[in-house]
Structure 1
């Protein structure tokens, strides 16, 4: 019970944080946290990120997608979240959002590079693109699950972004970082500036010796 309450509070805190810092708007986006190997807690369908309550959060079985029908209906994006938890045993927290600059990148030909600055190398270590599939579809879930093995930031074409990490704090920082990275990339392109991208050896050396936490396993 204590684990559930802490998880509920984590999700509610992140929802408020996202709204405060313009990482979410209206009822767009959804958040989940892994409770145990085969259970996740996910925001309900149509919930407003800035005013989440305990009644807005639903327990869902990861392997089957089943949930308690007596509560609010969970987000239809269950397939995406479940696919990440199944593909990545290290994933503990998943955020799907449509912040402005990242969604702009998702809807244009703007290519986003992680080897941009310190935080982008670390929090947005690997970025992959997922082709458009309808929200909530099994096809989208399958595409996200396949890409989750190679990247922790998945830009969903004409849709938004989904990020994951081991903890709430790391996942939230990942979302902030990809939004900042996309903003820098877009403004650089619009202003005619040429960003200096670090080479792969430098980025690898930084990640190997950064000392923040053990490197992700790919």
Structure 2
């Protein structure tokens, strides 16, 4: 299982604070809607297994930016699963971004 993390890039650390995964449920079902609805209360980005990505934000621009960032994170996670070594942001860098 690839698990995107948010401490690989500045943008990811800034934009994706709360990531949640939803289990697979058939499209259009109450089960999928209920799980996504419940988890979206505490997440910026939801990954719906076998479906795709759902982002939450203050406006459409913020949601679209999160989609771009999570797509990049998925790419990084894929690269990290091989021989390419990714270096996480230092604590100092993360603190600087949070200021």
Give the TM-score taking structure 1 as reference length: 0.41
Where 2:56 maps in the other structure, the secondary structure is strand
Q: CA, structure 1 residues 157+206, in 2 after alignment: closer, same or farther (shift >3 Å)? A: farther
Deviation at 1:208, TM superposition (A): 3.5
- Which of the residues 69, 86, 96 maps onto 1:195? 86
Structure 1 residues not aligned, in runs of 5+: 1-108, 210-218
Counterpart in 2 of 1:157? 49
Report what 2:30 is aligned to: 138
Larger Cα-atom Rg = 1
Which has more helix, going by share of residues? 2
Instruction: Give TM-score, length-normalised by structure 2.
Output: 0.85
Residues of 1 paired with 2:20 and 2:97: CA distance? 18
CA separation in 2, counterparts of 1:133 and 1:172?
Answer: 24
Structure 1 CA distance, aligned partners of 2:32 and 2:58? 22
Counterpart-to-counterpart distance in 2, 1:137 and 1:202: 42
- Do structure 1's residue 185 and structure 2's residue 77 form an aligned pair? yes
Q: Tell me how far apart the structure 2 counterparts of residues 148 and 207 of structure 1 sit (CA, whole Å).
A: 25
How far is 1:206 from its partner? 4.6
Q: Secondary structure at the match of 1:165?
A: coil
Answer 1 or 2: which has greater strand percent.
1
RMSD: 2.0
TM-superposition CA deviations, 1:149-178 (whole Å, max 9, x none): 221110111211111111111111111111
Query: Per-residue deviation at 1:113?
Result: 0.4
Say if 1:150 and 1:196 are closer, same or farther in 2 by CA, change over 3 A: farther
Q: Distance in 2 between matches of 1:183 and 1:149?
A: 26
